[in-house]
Structure 1
Amino acid sequence: MFWIWVVEGVCWPLRRRMALWSLWSLLLWEASSAQVHGQVGGSVLLVAERPAGFQVREAIWRSLWPSEELLATFFRGTPETLYRSRFLGRAQLHSNLSLELQPLESGDSGNFSVLLVDTDGRARTQVLQLKVYDVVPRPVVQVFIAVPGEAQPPKTCQVFLSCWAPNISDITYSWRREGTIDFGMEPSDLFTDGQVLRVSLGPGDKSTTYSCIVSNPVSWDLATVTPWESCHHEAAPGNSSYKDVLLVVVPISLLLTLAGLLSAWHSCYSGKKQKDVCNDRVTPETENPLV
Structure 2
Amino acid sequence: MAVWSLWCLHLWAALLPIADTGAQVQGKVGGSVLLVAECPHGFQVREAIWRSLWPSEELLATSFRGSLETLYHSRFLGRTQLHSNLSLELWPLESGDSGNFSVLLVDTGGRAWTRILQLKVYDAVPRPMVQVFIALLGDGQPPKTCQALLSCRVPNISDITYSWRQEGTIDFGIEPHGLFMDGQVLRVSLEPGDKDVAYSCIVSNPVSWDSTTVIPWKSCHHEAVKTYYKDVLLVVVPVSLFLILAGLFSAWHWGACSGKRKKDVCADGVVLETESPLV
Scaled by the length of structure 2, the TM-score of the pair is 0.79
Residue type of the alignment partner of 1:34: A
Matched with 2:13 is 21
Q: Does 1:134 align with 2:118?
A: no
For residues 252 and 204 of structure 1, do their structure 2 counterparts lie closer, same or farther at Cα, with a shift above 3 Å needed?
A: closer
Shift of 1:22: 2.9
Aligned length: 244
Q: Distance in 2 between matches of 1:223 and 1:234?
A: 21
Q: State the shift of 1:197 in Å.
A: 0.6
Alignment partner of 2:175 out of 186, 190, 212: 186
Where does residue 245 of structure 1 map in the other structure? 229
Please state whether the residue corresponding to 1:65 is helix, strand or coil.
coil
Q: Which residue of 2 aligns with 1:50?
A: 39
Letter in 2 for 1:130: L
TM-score by length of 1: 0.76
CA separation of 1:122 and 1:246: change in aligned 2, threshold 3 A: same
Distance 1:48 1:147, change over 3 A: same
Instruction: Kindly state the Cα deviation for residue 168 of structure 1 after the two structures are TM-superposed.
Output: 1.9
- Structure 1 distance, partners of 2:202, 2:237, is 46
Residue of structure 2 equivalent to 1:91:
80
How far apart, in 1, do the equivalents of 2:9 and 2:153 lie? Answer: 51
8 A contact 2:151–2:185 mirrored in 1: yes
Q: Unaligned 5+ residue runs, structure 2?
A: 250-279
Summarize the alignment of residues 107-122 of structure 1 with structure 2, pairs less than 5 Å apart: 107-122=96-111
Could you tell me which amino acid in structure 2 is paired with residue 184 of structure 1?
G
Return the match for 1:199 from 176, 188, 204. Answer: 188
Partner of 1:163: 152
Cα 1:212/1:37, change in 2 over 3 Å: same
CA contact (8 A) 2:18 2:113 kept: no
For residue 230 of structure 1, report the CA deviation from its aligned partner.
1.1
For 1:156, give the aligned amino acid: T
Rounded Cα–Cα distance in structure 1 between residues aligned with 2:135 and 2:199: 17
SS in 2 for 1:120: coil
Residue 264 of structure 2 is matched in structure 1 by none
| Counterpart-to-counterpart distance in 2, 1:257 and 1:23 | 92
| Cα-to-partner distance string for 1:135-154 (whole Å, 9 max, x where unaligned) | 111111111102459xxxx8
Between the aligned residues of both structures, percent identity stands at 69
> What SS does the corresponding residue of 2:125 show, helix, strand or coil?
coil
Aligned to 1:220: 209
How many Å separate the matches in 1 of 2:12 and 2:242?
93
Measure, in 1, the Cα distance between the counterparts of 2:66 and 2:39. Answer: 16
Q: CA deviation at 1:12?
A: 4.3
Q: How far apart are the structure 1 equivalents of 2:31 and 2:222?
A: 49
- Gapped runs of 5+ residues in structure 1? 1-6, 236-240, 265-291
- Residue identity in the other structure for 1:119: T
1:18 to 1:157, Cα distance in 2 relative to 1, 3 A: same
Deviating runs (4+, > 4 A) in structure 1?
A: 10-13, 251-260
2:53 aligned to which of 64, 85, 88:
64
1:78 Cα deviation from its structure 2 partner: 1.1
Q: Which moved more, 1:105-114 or 1:62-71?
A: 105-114
**Counterpart amino acid of residue 168 in structure 1:** I
| One-letter amino acid matched to 1:199 | V
Residue 76 (str. 1) matches residue 65 (str. 2): yes
Aligned to 1:238: none
